[in-house]
A = this chain, B = another copy of it.
Amino acid sequence: MITVTTLPDLRQALTRFPKPIGLVPTMGYLHEGHLSLLRTAKNECATVAVSIFVNPTQFGQNEDLSAYPRDLPHDLQLLEREAVDLVWTPVSAEIYPQNFQTWVDVEEITKHLEGAQRPGHFRGVATVVAKLFNALQPQMAFFGQKDAQQVAVVRQMVRDLNFPIEIVVCPTVRESDGLAMSSRNSYLNHQERQAAPILYKALNTAQTAFQSGERQANAIRQIMRDTIKKESLATIQYVSCADPDTLLEIGGVIDGRVLLSMAVYIGKTRLIDNFLIG
């Protein structure tokens, strides 16, 4: 495994590896969710490249950039064990040098859900992903379904800007009690950790209702809300039943696939989760 930090070192290292190159972009503090992405990449690509970069521009002013968990030595150990070929760990000063002023804006689908709650978040995501794509020039890139709107935004950007890259989406990896794996789970204390699977329970309850024939989007949203409200440590930020492509809320009857998603505070920790159903 080769680990590089600077862009020139990355460009030089890339010449040594065969194509197709599969990129797994991460913010580090790796868990089984990340590992499933790179194992999928390993199956599909001649070279697997992982980037580790906590991207400051996707954090809002009052968000958890400085608190975001980091453990590079442990991450590298995990990646070594998975026989990853190339790891890029850029520093912020090279990604956003003085006088940096170019942004990639995906407009419509960033207005909803996470984008509505976190202004500027997806501008930061789209910009850094465009930079990672240009720096690493992968043929495939791997993202987790856990960040459903991120997947939609990246796919829209790839289509709109003609990146010659196939986006592969891997299923959300969960703890045994259903909690979606997330680096932010490390913020939870013991009691909060016990409460956190409520997101999964709410999604499950809604899915069961759907499978039993419930097709009213309002009813599905209410089922999720009602489930979450049973957990005293949980505070709903949003609950959504939306078109999986446009991310617009479904008004009346569900017809076809829908994205059930939510952002819920467990104590002070903001968690997100989603199911794609139908």
Mark A residues whose CB is within 8 Å of B: 7, 11, 97, 99-109, 126-127, 130-131, 134-135, 137, 156-157, 159-164
Minimum CB–CB distance for A126 against chain B, Å = 7
Q: Which residue of B lies closest to A153 (CB)?
A: B102
Residues of B within 8 A of A130 (CB): 161
Q: Which residue of B lies closest to A135 (CB)?
A: B162
Q: Identify which of B101, B131, B134, B157 contacts A102 (C-beta below 8 A).
A: B157
CA distance A235 to B102 in the complex (A): 33
Residues of B within 8 A of A162 (CB): 7, 131, 134-135
Q: Identify which of B7, B109, B161 contacts A104 (C-beta below 8 A).
A: B161
Q: Which residue of B lies closest to A11 (CB)?
A: B164
Q: Identify which of B7, B102, B109, B161 contacts A105 (C-beta below 8 A).
A: B102
Minimum CB–CB distance for A97 against chain B, Å = 8
Residues of B within 8 A of A134 (CB): 161-164
Minimum CB–CB distance for A244 against chain B, Å = 14
Can you list 7 pairs linking A and B with CB atoms under 8 Å apart? A100-B160, A104-B104, A105-B105, A130-B161, A131-B160, A131-B161, A134-B164
Residues of B within 8 A of A160 (CB): 100-102, 131
Minimum CB–CB distance for A101 against chain B, Å = 4
Minimum CB–CB distance for A9 against chain B, Å = 14
CA distance A109 to B196 in the complex (A): 47
Q: Which residue of B lies closest to A110 (CB)?
A: B101
Q: Knowing A131-B161, A164-B134 are in contact, say whether A102-B103 is a contact too (CB < 8 A).
A: no
Q: Which residue of B lies closest to A7 (CB)?
A: B162
